[in-house]
Structure 1
């Protein structure tokens, strides 16, 4: 009897522990393009009594995560399948299925589209090339190596430039006629970015301030969201252009990564995937402005908006995606040769508070940026056409260093940076003003995409008004801030907001912050 009671109490204790222990979290890594679909995922997880987390990374980072020896996530949900095709060499991803479809299109200011004669007719990439060559069109576009929308636009450009009417082949990337056409199309980029959502926010903020960009390559649903906001504010809409040669479509694939070896986790994933592809949920997804995968059980679609050429029921031409190896080669070609060259002036804080760990971490970050073997892995390598200027500063700017992005010059630049010793006060505005002068000197014909990058860990000593006067009289390059240690983020944020830049958090990972910044230049 005593043994029975003891066993019964033990069972009760185990049951109590089981009830009080939360289920193991199901971890999903997703592209930011899927962020507005997370509530649907969390609703399902709650009903199932299962904890779920969603971490948002860029398309490239999602792909690179698949190369990790020990994956951190149970499921991957990038914007498009190409990032899995390129990086999932060990075939870790299973049960891959498209959740939604989202073509990448060119939105052009309606009045400009009318002036170009593009309203109500088919428009080809050749028409876009002609408009760029005639100085009538520029646009915003994300980096092809850091964001799926940029990669999609770029692959559509390449596909349109080939003459054989088939998918892009390796030999096409060596064809001078193909590369020159694509180089011209990329010359139309006026601002780049590492995030489709941030690019949309930039377009809206600029429209409010009276700064007019001609257009933007972005997801069809993002153009719809931007137009909804522009309409509310009484601003000019973007007219959607679907090049006749075809557009690339983001297929929002959800796939399982078996990192635990448990059937329960896989079974939960399959339930989640079935929920997202069910007719009821597909109807909700369609109402968000996305198109549905071919053969989807739901036929629901949002209403057409002909005023800006949006009709999700209308068939569009799509490109055939090349082999993964060709895509990777095409992305290397973009980063190393075809993209519009950049001029980047980096203000590096060597004030006294940087002594010790600060100096070491800054050297490590610059070692990453100026070591081609490392930057190539993350597709942020410099091209020989780029210009790099580094200005160390404390209470005033120190001697500066200049080079192109040629590999042979980067080692000498890194050696020079590593000789710097921390000491003195902090004046970010004096360095930023010097950076403006250098950009105006080197970019008189505006052939480069310019950027000022300020890395600082302390509060500046003043000079803000002098910088603002100099910026108003300049070509107005964006200023990007990278925070470090106990940096005064407010000052950097004000500079970024006023100039159309962005602040990156380097306090957790300074190298990653610099890498992210490269996607915006």
Structure 2
């Protein structure tokens, strides 16, 4: 194994985050500091934002700089946001989820101010033109949730589609509410009584369970569909993500996707910028100033140039290079979004999604117990694992298991420990599982390649059935043995190789060369949030 100096390690970490940020459509780092003017007051603001809002966040950074503020931005997935907001000591003055639908699902320890919707981005059904033609959808503005249900449940092989999980990705959260409302067929907001109607669940569950692929982030899902174009016919995502996919497809001489705006199931990302209440009136005043600046009329053109529809649209001229009408995109989209239910009904609807409606998962979490991670702190690792494995803790981030899930944990160093499997959602079994991990110590070397291969085999042995499959490597990325060919051959030879993603959660003084080669082979992502291993693990877990 190559030994690198501390300076080289720092450089590699910066380079890795740049690559990960580029993959997510983000600025250089997952946490960005924007310095103010030389004469700026010595006060900071800290913003936590969804990765789906990258272009809008850059406008907020410009506004902070212009006002003389020094603002730090941390991009966090919504699974991580839920956990962070529940901590009364979190450092954020502003929080910016992709959709206000998640506000009613959060349990914030500190009060949240009134959301200000800065811009809107419709969630589209992005379908190959030839497939839309075959379905009779071309040129129509009356495609409904029932139409989608009919095609994806009648012929799953001809309609392979990708949608992330709710409520962890904004587009999936809005799409779920759209499908729920459209299939209910009432023409109004979902009410609690609707959730008990068998006709609704009989339509909704087969539709949601026909999903072919999920991902932890919106951009991760986009990259899967554009990178493996022959494997999918439909992408459900924000319109800006469809544009990103099409740019990649056109560059590769592939048929672009066409935007379908569902008539009775239209979801939307409304980008609510929210001030978090705190004890410092100066910080609150500055947070309110940024919120007001982002809602100003003069930002409309810049918001439109980023591919969003500004909330204040007077005088805005859409760029035809961004709003490409040949792709079915409307330059002047008129909202006909579904109505938002009351908070109690929405929370109940999301609980039912998590424990009953969604497609079940088969997940292997491979936990590095090699000597090189000893300095990262096994206690911190144990807490992070508990945050996604113990049902009560997982539920705070809407990661609770369902009865049909399969969860396998494999401790590893140069050799694999005995896989520990839990079928279902029994809290006692998960408590026993985490107890088994607690008694283990870090020692020995690491073989990430054989571990990944055996993780795939563990899903095969458990029986993936009609589940979404994923292997999550929790590691510092320092593999002493093995080679990528082990992973490539295993996935090529496996009958389920194309159905299992591999994600990596990095900890400690991590290196990325080896894990990047593994996850890129298996349509996965790398998550590295220094100082918050639990947030990184929750984000990775949200992809399955």
Deviation of the 1:317 alpha carbon: 2.5
Equivalences for residues 41-440 of structure 1 within 5 A? 41-62=60-81, 65-70=84-89, 72-87=91-106, 92-94=111-113, 96-121=115-140, 122-134=142-154, 135=156, 136-207=158-229, 211-262=230-281, 265=283, 268-293=286-311, 296-303=313-320, 305-353=324-372, 358-407=377-426, 408-440=428-460
Q: 124-133 or 347-356, which moves further after superposition? A: 347-356
Instruction: Answer whether contact 2:183 2:200 (CA < 8 A) is retained.
Output: yes
Instruction: Answer whether contact 1:159 1:319 (CA < 8 A) is retained.
Output: yes
* Separation (CA, whole Å) in 1 of partners of 2:303 and 2:57: 11
Deviation of the 1:354 alpha carbon: 5.2
Secondary structure at the counterpart of residue 189 of structure 1? coil
Deviation of the 1:321 alpha carbon: 0.5
- Pair 1:450-2:469 in alignment: yes
> Structure 2 regions of 5+ residues with no counterpart?
1-36
TM-score, normalised via structure 2 length: 0.83
Secondary structure at the counterpart of residue 54 of structure 1? strand
Secondary structure at the counterpart of residue 491 of structure 1? helix
Please give the per-residue CA displacement for 1:214-272, whole angstroms capped at 9, x wherever unaligned. Answer: 2211111221232233223322111112222131222212233342453x555545554
Alpha carbons of structure 1 residues 87 and 392: separation in structure 2 relative to 1, 3 Å: closer
Partner of 1:15: none
Deviation of the 1:37 alpha carbon: 2.2
* Separation (CA, whole Å) in 1 of partners of 2:69 and 2:353: 43
* Separation (CA, whole Å) in 1 of partners of 2:61 and 2:376: 41
Partner of 2:503: 480
Deviation of the 1:291 alpha carbon: 1.7
Partner of 1:4: none
* Separation (CA, whole Å) in 1 of partners of 2:237 and 2:372: 42
Alpha carbons of structure 1 residues 201 and 71: separation in structure 2 relative to 1, 3 Å: same
- Pair 1:33-2:61 in alignment: no
Instruction: Answer whether contact 1:63 1:84 (CA < 8 A) is retained.
Output: no
> Structure 1 regions of 5+ residues with no counterpart?
1-17
Compare relative contact order (CA 8 Å, sep 6+) and give the higher one, 1 or 2.
2
Bigger Cα Rg: 1
Deviation of the 1:68 alpha carbon: 4.1
* Separation (CA, whole Å) in 2 of partners of 1:430 and 1:216: 32
Deviation of the 1:156 alpha carbon: 0.6
* Separation (CA, whole Å) in 2 of partners of 1:62 and 1:415: 27
* Separation (CA, whole Å) in 2 of partners of 1:78 and 1:367: 25
* Separation (CA, whole Å) in 2 of partners of 1:345 and 1:19: 50
Deviation of the 1:111 alpha carbon: 1.7
Instruction: Answer whether contact 2:79 2:539 (CA < 8 A) is retained.
Output: no
* Separation (CA, whole Å) in 2 of partners of 1:430 and 1:266: 51
Instruction: Answer whether contact 1:106 1:217 (CA < 8 A) is retained.
Output: yes
Deviation of the 1:29 alpha carbon: 2.6
State the number of aligned residues: 498
Equivalences for residues 5-24 of structure 1 within 5 A? 22-24=41-43
Please give the per-residue CA displacement for 1:288-332, whole angstroms capped at 9, x wherever unaligned. Answer: 222232x64334334453322111324352100111222222222
Deviation of the 1:397 alpha carbon: 2.3
* Separation (CA, whole Å) in 1 of partners of 2:38 and 2:369: 54
TM-score, normalised via structure 1 length: 0.87
Instruction: Answer whether contact 1:145 1:380 (CA < 8 A) is retained.
Output: no
Partner of 2:518: 495
* Separation (CA, whole Å) in 2 of partners of 1:276 and 1:256: 13
Q: 336-345 or 135-144, which moves further after superposition? A: 135-144
Please give the per-residue CA displacement for 1:328-361, whole angstroms capped at 9, x wherever unaligned. Answer: 2222211111111111122223334456865444
